Amino acid sequence: MSNFWLSIVIFLLAYVFIIIEKVHRSVVVWVAAALVIFLGVISQAKAIEAIDFNTLWLLIGMMVIVGITRKSGVFEYIAIKSAKLARGNPLYIMVILALVTALASALLDNVTTVLLMVPVTFAITDRLEISPLPFLFTEILASNIGGTATLIGDPPNIMIGSATGLGFMDFINNLALPAIIILIVTIACLLLIFRRDLAAGEDKIAQVMELDEREFIKEWAILKKSLLVLGLTMLGFILHQYLHLESATIALAGAGLLLLVTKVEPEEALLSVEWPTIFFFAGLFVIVGGLEVNGVIDLVAREALAITGDSPFRTGMLVLWLSAVGSAFVDNIPFVATMIPLLQSIGEMTAMPMESVWWSLALGSCLGGNGTLIGASANVIVAGLAERYGNTIRFLDFMKLGFPLMILSIILSAIYLYMRFWA
């Protein structure tokens, strides 16, 4: 069997085992990653190149920062404050958390956002004694939708901006409106879906309303230092393209600075890192790297785009749907990395206006991550944190809800793109 077909077979088998959930997903991808190297589908050197260490170090750095910040009790403070603002109503709380998550994801990256929001969510649901899963599911979708709106909100947008020269305000002007519309529609759908699952006892609501959120701040010194370092880190994320620094460098610098000023033992800080998630991503990068090296992704993209001719409308629609479905099942970072040179070549060969096509790629790749549990980094992070708190988000359960809502968001995106660029 050729390496081309071996890469496809191993990828599909890994997916089957992830879906049936008989073996932990981190174990599945690492066995699959080992197979693609042992069978010569990809060399070890190429496998290491395929791993996006910027993403991994970003995750590790932010997990350390969040883990130290959690010691102060600030997440419990925010949770109680949010719950009291919503009068203890779980439906209102879910809306507030979704809006905060979406806004934060637009200003930061969605991974950082969910790392900050998940502890808050569990603090609220523990107090109200209700299931955290509807909240976590909503926050996953909100983070990916919010990240769509800006240049820095999601890695695919950063890659597109770098390749095309499109700036921060270009993304705001073209993607903020559809992101807002999609967010509102998605939240409305989720409220209908979960309305019967979000009922808290009156006694629990009353207990929450009587709490003094200030009493939950346990370490004021750690809180002040954590907020200062977190603020500097966030500023670094916003300015990283101007500082010519990778986001991972900023996250690791922030983690190191916080360890220095708080004097928290490194061993203790590293316990807050969700290591199974880190290894899951590393293995997934290797598997997808096998597809890339053997031309599978390139072939799919070229064959799909060959049927569109020189029509911006047909090309844009195909790119939108192809990137959405593709990003749901393959990490959107390598997918977009493959699509960018292809679209640049098409633009050069056909001389057709490409701006609308780039926005199609951005919307499809960012929103497509909502389709499955492994479609975006934020999804995997939330699932890993949920497991640590004793709650399992199952692949098929997520897909049953996420994929239809993802399709709805792409339909809304298609309407928006048609009205704005092609009508």
Instruction: Output the six-digit token pair for 248.
Output: 């991972």
- What are 95's two structure tokens? 């809306």
With CA atoms as reference, report the closest residue to 47 among 32, 28, 68, 27. 32
pLDDT of 155-209, one tens digit each? 788 778 877 877 778 888 999 999 999 999 999 999 999 988 887 778 878 877 8
The pLDDT tens digits of the residues spanning 198-214 come to 877 788 788 778 878 88
Identify the pLDDT of residue 367.
95
pLDDT for the residue numbered 129: 85
16 has a pLDDT exceeding 90: no
Question: Quick one: 50 exposed, middle or buried, by C-beta within 10 A (0-12, 13-18, 19+)?
Answer: buried
Q: How many angstroms separate the Cα of 151 from the Cα of each of 161, 239, 279, 371?
A: 7, 11, 27, 22
Which two structure tokens, joined as six digits, stand for 145? 């939708």
Of residues 334 and 390, which shows the higher confidence score?
390
Q: What pLDDT band is residue 45 in, cutting at 50, 70 and 90?
A: very high
From the list 232, 226, 234, 223, the residue with the least C-alpha distance to 259 is 226
pTM of the full structure: 0.79
Rounded Cα gap, residues 152 and 238, in angstroms: 7
Contact 370, 331 (CB under 8 A): no
For the segment 51-106, what is each residue's pLDDT rounded down to a tens digit? 878 778 887 888 898 889 888 888 778 878 888 888 888 888 899 989 988 988 88
Output the CA–CA distances (angstroms, integers) from residue 204 to 54, 137, 292, 347, in the order listed. 43, 23, 52, 59
> How is the chain split into domains, by residue range?
3-48, 53-422
* Statement: residue 148 has pLDDT above 80: yes
